[in-house]
Amino acid sequence: MVQRISLAHGEGGELTHQLIQHVFLKSFGDSEQVQLDSAIVQCPTQTIAVSTDSYVVKPIFFPGGNIGKLAITGTVNDLAVCGAIPHVITAAFIIEEGFEIPKLKKVVESMAAEAKNAGVTIIAGDTKVVEKGSVDGLFINTTGIGWIQEKHRLKPEAIQEGDSVIISGTIGDHGIAILSARQEHGLLTDVESDCATLNHLIQELVEEIEGIRIMRDPTRGGLATTLVELCEDFHFIVELDEVSIPIRNDVQGACDILGFDPLYLANEGKVVLIIDPTNQHKALEIMRKNVFGQNASIIGHITSSNVDTGKLLLKTPMGTTRRLHRLTGMLLPRIC
Amino acid sequence: MVQRISLAHGEGGELTHQLIQHVFLKSFGDSEQVQLDSAIVQCPTQTIAVSTDSYVVKPIFFPGGNIGKLAITGTVNDLAVCGAIPHVITAAFIIEEGFEIPKLKKVVESMAAEAKNAGVTIIAGDTKVVEKGSVDGLFINTTGIGWIQEKHRLKPEAIQEGDSVIISGTIGDHGIAILSARQEHGLLTDVESDCATLNHLIQELVEEIEGIRIMRDPTRGGLATTLVELCEDFHFIVELDEVSIPIRNDVQGACDILGFDPLYLANEGKVVLIIDPTNQHKALEIMRKNVFGQNASIIGHITSSNVDTGKLLLKTPMGTTRRLHRLTGMLLPRIC
């Protein structure tokens, strides 16, 4: 087989057929399971969750992962945080003419491995090839479908004063890993992306713990933007305690040097949740036993609910409080 | 609002929020229905069909449609031909920095209009923005979910000698329309793309007619590649009758001048089906009453089934027969 993608690989003919056989089906499993056009899926429930994301991360390979791993973890986590059990996923590739097939194989193998970790099946795919210069290497879209179990429905409407905000671990790792991989700012760190599928951890939580009001994965826009959106959508005020927010020393150091605020850096393997305080210690215990939740911490509380204008406040180590807004302007394009 | 997309529109912060509010939600419906992250969907059945496609068509606007309309029709048709009733669809955009927002709005409005025609709801979305030069304008991924009704399950295993092959109309319109819009070959035609959602026509067929064995939409790779794949996958031989295949004079003329074979040109509003001959006339009647099936014709027959190697044969007007293969090599990149 040739070693580079040509335009003919995207024409739906013989070379597309070969690419599917030798690259995609080889990693994604036997052709019985993977339907490359439409896939028929049996759902054990009649309520499903659906999430879609395109991945344009630059560079394609970075410490801790690559675009393929990220395309699985990101979509799986989007489903998991809405209380769904991720089950099937589609994968659509847009590939630049000339892209090296061994690199594509590596990406596809990472997707297959991460899908296996998460327990999801890749059920349908698509391949488009565009001329050199019309896309930067490789972009991937994944769309995931999960089953919603009624008994695990989250209840954001129950959010009330006194509820706690928990994050599953350190913030900003993915952002700094990508920045470091780009070598644009002369930044050299050992920080790896945190990208990981959290569905097993989250499923244990929703099965064992009552009182989880809502969950989110604080990706693009970071923890601050994610919480601002929750505050506004569900009309409550959160006060974060800055000193409680877990952050690696090297991430904080990189942020200090480059002038980034870690609260706005992307995370790809973290979940933030709002929980009834009577259940918070049990939740922390479950999270800390899991490799992806070792540094789970209570980082703030709901100080008011049912307000007209929800907002996010940050209590600084000096005891002052400032309001945090959505990310504005440009921070790090193509972080995911 | 600014008139061009900036990188900050893709950062998940304030500008992304504004883009979603002012462009996407405005066209895709009220924010109650459209969940921009994960959407929760009630299925009336527990068997679903899922299809994904990325659209990279060049140019973005062409006679008879644009990338947005195509992104809906293509995915809706993929679901419909597998016997599913298309119901919900996700839309993920990869946009080049500097792309004009009025153009984006036009694309998004076409998507909304075509989704309405098809009776599908756009339920989840994603927006990524990449630097100028990292993508050619705008690429869209849509993933559709449809409901499978047991009684409408197609039965390709029942395909047998004597079955008829029907196409719903003229072939090659989309291919020639795109080629003409590119103005690369000095080709000037009035041919418009046939891109259209066929789910209503198909639903009428599966409800009214028994004996439909299988259906396909002959898009990339054209009618020939689509039928070769069916022949190989289900082990039968089709003999097409070249003179029966409907084709517009101007499409045939353009093909003659440029050296293209219309059997390999993409169609975006056609369905090809294999049917028990006792039902073929009723099927033709239903199709011809529909604006998208006016030129429906019987174009060939199954001459053998259960063979080791399925193949596609073409009987020419001279009475000779030649074997057709999958599209090989490069014909028209970025046709969809």
Note the pLDDT tens digit of each residue in A322-332. 999 998 865 67
How many structural domains are present in chain B?
Answer: 2
- If asked whether residues A191 and A143 sit together in one domain, one would say no
Where does a domain end: B106, B134, B152?
A: B152
Range of the domain at A108: 7-152
Contact A46 B44 (CB under 8 A): yes
Restricting to B residues 189-228, those with a Cβ less than 8 Å away from any Cβ of A are: 219-221, 225
In angstroms, what separates the C-alpha of A289 from chain B's closest C-alpha? Answer: 28
Mutate to test the interface with A, among B5, B9, B54, B178 (most CBs of A within 10 A): B54
Closest chain B residue by Cα to residue A327: B13
Residue A196 is predicted with a pLDDT of 98
- A172 domain-assigned: yes
- If asked whether residues B177 and B306 sit together in one domain, one would say yes
DSSP string, B50-70: EEEEEE--SSSEETTEEHHHH
Angle between helices A173-182 and A249-258 (to 10 degrees): 60
Tokens of A190: 């050992």
CATH number for A42: 3.30.1330.10
- If asked whether residues A76 and A194 sit together in one domain, one would say no
How confident is the model over B113-140, as pLDDT tens digits?
A: 999 999 999 999 999 999 999 999 999 9
- A148 domain-assigned: yes
Question: From the centroid of its chain, how far is CA B305?
Answer: 27
- If asked whether residues A52 and A200 sit together in one domain, one would say no
Residue B301 is predicted with a pLDDT of 98
Residue B110 is predicted with a pLDDT of 97
- B236 domain-assigned: yes
CB-nearest to B94 from A6, A38, A139 is: A139
In angstroms, what separates the C-alpha of B99 from chain A's closest C-alpha? Answer: 14
Residue type, position B191, single letter: V
Restricting to A residues 43-72, those with a Cβ less than 8 Å away from any Cβ of B are: 43-56, 58
- If asked whether residues A165 and A133 sit together in one domain, one would say no
Asked casually if ipTM beats, i.e. exceeds, 0.90, the reply is: yes
CATH number for B289: 3.90.650.10
Cis peptide before B59 (omega within 30 of 0): yes
- If asked whether residues A223 and A287 sit together in one domain, one would say yes
In angstroms, what separates the C-alpha of A189 from chain B's closest C-alpha? Answer: 23
Mean pLDDT of B255-283: 96
- What distances in angstroms separate CA A167 from CA A78, A164, A222, A296, one per listed residue? 16, 10, 12, 6
- A329 domain-assigned: no
How confident is the model over B202-242, as pLDDT tens digits?
A: 999 999 999 999 999 999 999 999 999 999 999 999 999 99
B3 in contact with A at a CB cutoff of 8 Å? no
Contact A11 B326 (CB under 8 A): no
Contact A330 B219 (CB under 8 A): no
Question: From the centroid of its chain, how far is CA A322?
Answer: 27
- A1 domain-assigned: no
Contact A46 B49 (CB under 8 A): no
Residue B330 is predicted with a pLDDT of 59
Sheet containing strand B212-216, strands side by side: B212-216, B272-275, B164-167, B297-305, B236-241, B311-315, B321-324
In angstroms, what separates the C-alpha of B91 from chain A's closest C-alpha? Answer: 7
- A336 domain-assigned: no
In angstroms, what separates the C-alpha of B208 from chain A's closest C-alpha? Answer: 23
- A156: Cβ–Cβ under 8 A, 6 or more apart, which residues? A213, A214, A230, A234, A274
- If asked whether residues B142 and B163 sit together in one domain, one would say no
B41 in contact with A at a CB cutoff of 8 Å? yes
Residue A129 is predicted with a pLDDT of 94
- B331 domain-assigned: no
Q: Are A71 and A143 in contact (CB under 8 A)?
A: no
On chain A, the residues whose CB falls within 8 A of the CB of B139 are: 94, 135, 139
Residue B122 is predicted with a pLDDT of 93
Number of residue pairs across A and B with CB atoms under 8 Å?
A: 250
- If asked whether residues B164 and B313 sit together in one domain, one would say yes
Contact B134 A130 (CB under 8 A): no
Q: What CA–CA distance (Å, rounded) separates A148 from A155?
A: 13
Q: What does pLDDT average to over chain A?
A: 92
- If asked whether residues A310 and A187 sit together in one domain, one would say yes
- If asked whether residues B235 and B305 sit together in one domain, one would say yes
- If asked whether residues A168 and A195 sit together in one domain, one would say yes
A25 in contact with B at a CB cutoff of 8 Å? no
Q: What does pLDDT average to over chain B?
A: 92
Contact B327 A133 (CB under 8 A): no
Restricting to B residues 110-139, those with a Cβ less than 8 Å away from any Cβ of A are: 123-126, 128-131, 133-136, 139
Contact B78 A225 (CB under 8 A): no
- If asked whether residues A215 and A98 sit together in one domain, one would say no
Residue B37 is predicted with a pLDDT of 65
Where does a domain end: A129, A152, A175?
A: A152
Where does a domain end: A132, A152, A172?
A: A152
- A84 domain-assigned: yes
Mutate to test the interface with B, among A25, A32, A45, A54 (most CBs of B within 10 A): A54
Residue A45 is predicted with a pLDDT of 83
Contact B125 A334 (CB under 8 A): no
HEC per residue, A119-184: CCEEEEEEEEEECCCCECCEEEEEEEEEEECHHHCCCHHHCCCCCEEEECCCCCHHHHHHHHHHCC
Closest chain B residue by Cα to residue A130: B334
